[in-house]
Amino acid sequence: MNKNRHMKYGLLIATVLLMAGLMLSGCRKDTGSSGDPNDPGNAGISSAVGDDKTDQSTNNGDENREDTSASQTEQEDEEPVEIIDDSYRNYYEIFVYSFYDSNGDGYGDLNGVTGKLDYVADMGYTGIWFMPVHPSPTYHKYDISDYYGIDPKYGTLDDMKNLIREAHARNIDIILDLVVNHTSSIHPWFREACAEIAKNGEPSGQYKDYYVFKSQYENGYTQVGSTGWYYESRFWSGMPDLNLDDPTVRDEIRNIMKYWFDLGVDGFRLDACTSYYTGDVEKNKEFLHWLSTTAHELKEDCFLVGEAWENADPIIRDYYDSGLDSFFIFTAATGEGSIVTGPLSFSSKSCGLKMNDLLLRLQTTYDIGIPSMFLGNHDTARPANFLRKSMPDRVKMGGGILAMMPGALFTYYGEEIGMLGTGDDPNKRIAMLWDGLDTEGYCKKTPDGIKVNADSYYFDSVEKQLADKNSILNYYRKAMKLRNRNPEIARGRVEILNGLPGVTAGDQVSVTRRTWNGSDIIVVMNLNSVDEEKVILDRNILGYEKKTGELLGNTLTSIRSDDTAGEYVLPPYSVIILR
């Protein structure tokens, strides 16, 4: 397939064609654009080579102004940053099955992850969330048959211990998926409980109260063999629900958490929090309160993040009253969330103001705990799908907005190279593309046996994107490091500066101050997908010195800066940090 390589020719083409490439860069295999000027995917083309009059009306001679700070910020990207030891981290979600195969058996494994920890750290990630790693009869492993073991496909317990040690040596925290709403139907607890029913005609024995059994069928229940008893199984028959009211079950959960804390794990992602007690929010919160209290008694500084998949902020906020550290903010994620429908909206002419509204909404609503922000995960379409693969600069800006959000941040493996995946769950969990499909480390055993080939990947591999300054990968890398270098972004209080004295900015631009621990920065984001935007900021009023960081959706463009005059011309989909 034809491979575009804009960086090779960037210095040879005219400025107008540089702007035409704005929406077509990103180290992709092909453009996938229709050529239709009415297609949002071609907005950059029609604007750049057609009727764009922005340069004439807004540049005012700025085209000759050089950004003397650009090389300085690039140098700062490579300088080591002291990672703050708290839970406001950049987490990288890994599905081990599809990540890196270290022994050639076709499956990803823990040693493969260990071998890629330098990559994870160099990308600016300071935490890893592992999807379930325990023995399980399914590829996804959300039906666990042994909470204390490692699935043989993934390796051994010693492999996990080594991985944790090596991760901590690189200032990377480890959190595991804790699935306690249900077990596998082959878990010894459940098998023994069912055997007692078959033997005695009713629940009896050591595990009779570990699950919810009823003598009459109800919706969400499955029959125990040919007996007259039924067990709760809200997800499917292979996932019998645990009886979380039983004190012995809670003791088991406590022991499981203690076991992994003792091995060095830093926290847990809690699966299916809203399903603990189906339809009963208060009981869900009570259980989460017990779990949170118990976990922090075992490990005071642990981090617990819950999956409360709800589509309204007040509902998610209500779950914070349980005392849990964090919940995923589903209202901002996916193609229907407020990041895509707000600051990345195609139809809006005030995307900057929508970004401000989103930041204020999050700050006002989530007044306790840590919001966990993400674009997509293993259950959703991948960002490159809903952000439009034919618009790599928009894919990048999705990551840029994520990096500028408060709280903890989560990126799904492969998101940083624009991997695709939508529809059935296995499609969202295909092998990480490190190099080629036949190269070392590629996981050839596909999830649930689905067909995967070269056409399953739209953008280039990690290896090729690392060498391309304009790639999605290098954008994500810079965004994560910029976030680490400016801790005010994740931890700070947000103040909207648009419209205040000393600030001149259009509606497509978001200007905010982030204040934390006696320090503050100013974040300026041009959310205009087509045109550059000029921003004037009065240094005396706002109290900053200079630009210290930037993100460019297309590195063939540049930010024209004059710190002395406080004037900044931002190309489409770009960000600057002032300090």
Indicate which residues carry an active-site annotation. Answer: 271, 307
Cβ(503)–Cβ(512) below 8 Å: no
Could you tell me the two tokens for 226?
């040919």
Cβ(193)–Cβ(203) below 8 Å: yes
C-alpha 165 chain-centroid distance: 24
Could you tell me the two tokens for 254?
């406590």
Pairwise CA distance, residues 308 & 313, whole Å: 11
C-alpha 84 chain-centroid distance: 19
| Residues with Cβ within 8 Å of residue 226, at least 6 apart in sequence | none
Pairwise CA distance, residues 221 & 213, whole Å: 9
Pairwise CA distance, residues 428 & 334, whole Å: 13
Q: Which helix (H) or strand (E) holds 536?
A: strand 533-537
Q: What are phi and psi of 506, to 5 degrees?
A: -80, 175
Largest Cα separation within the chain, whole Å, is: 89
502: left (phi over 0), alpha (psi -120 to 50) or beta: left
Q: At what angle do helices 247-262 and 281-298 cross, to 10 degrees?
A: 40
Q: Give the three-class secondary structure for 407.
A: coil
CB atoms within 10 A of CB 104: 9
Could you tell me the two tokens for 411?
């990126």
Supply the Cα-derived Rg of the chain in whole angstroms: 25
Q: Which helix (H) or strand (E) holds 247?
A: helix 247-262
Cβ burial, residue 100 (10 Å; 0-12/13-18/19+): buried
* Partners of 534 in the β-ladder: 569
Pairwise CA distance, residues 151 & 329, whole Å: 30
Structure-token match 């010894």, residue found: 188
Cβ(124)–Cβ(110) below 8 Å: no
Around 437, how many Cα atoms within 13 Å sit in the side-chain half-sphere? 11
Q: Read off the amino acid at residue 504.
A: T
CB atoms within 10 A of CB 410: 25
Alpha helices in 148-246 (DSSP H): 157-169, 188-200
* Partners of 511 in the β-ladder: 524
303: left (phi over 0), alpha (psi -120 to 50) or beta: beta
Q: Which helix (H) or strand (E) holds 574?
A: strand 574-578
